[in-house]
Amino acid sequence: MSPVLLVILTVVEIVALVAVLALFVILITRRLRSLANTLGQVSEGVIRSIQGDVFLVGAGAAILNRKLNAIAKALPAIAEKAESLSSQQPQADPYARAPR
């Protein structure tokens, strides 16, 4: 084979290789864009769902806080009552054996 023919075939091969690589890059770019769009749609749905849940929790948080504050205010009185009841009863030995 002549050197000129070998150079021409080499150039044609390089051009074909570059064309195939460019085609694959274009196909991969399209696929990635499609995936990005799908992920965008999914994330929008998830965000809307979370916003709905947060709205429900936010609405109940005020009620829950009021009830917890009422319980917290009642705890000292309950603790005093329990302490006075325990001091009135004789202390049992927790390690004593139960009668058989």
pLDDT value of position 95 = 72
Report yes or no on whether pTM surpasses 0.85.
no
CA distances from 85 to 12, 74, 79 (A): 100, 17, 10
Between the alpha carbon of residue 75 and those of residues 7, 62, 87, 90, the distances in Å are 94, 20, 18, 24
Determine the pLDDT at residue 88: 78
76-92 pLDDT, tens digit each = 999 998 888 877 766 66
- pLDDT tens for 2-16 read 999 999 999 999 999
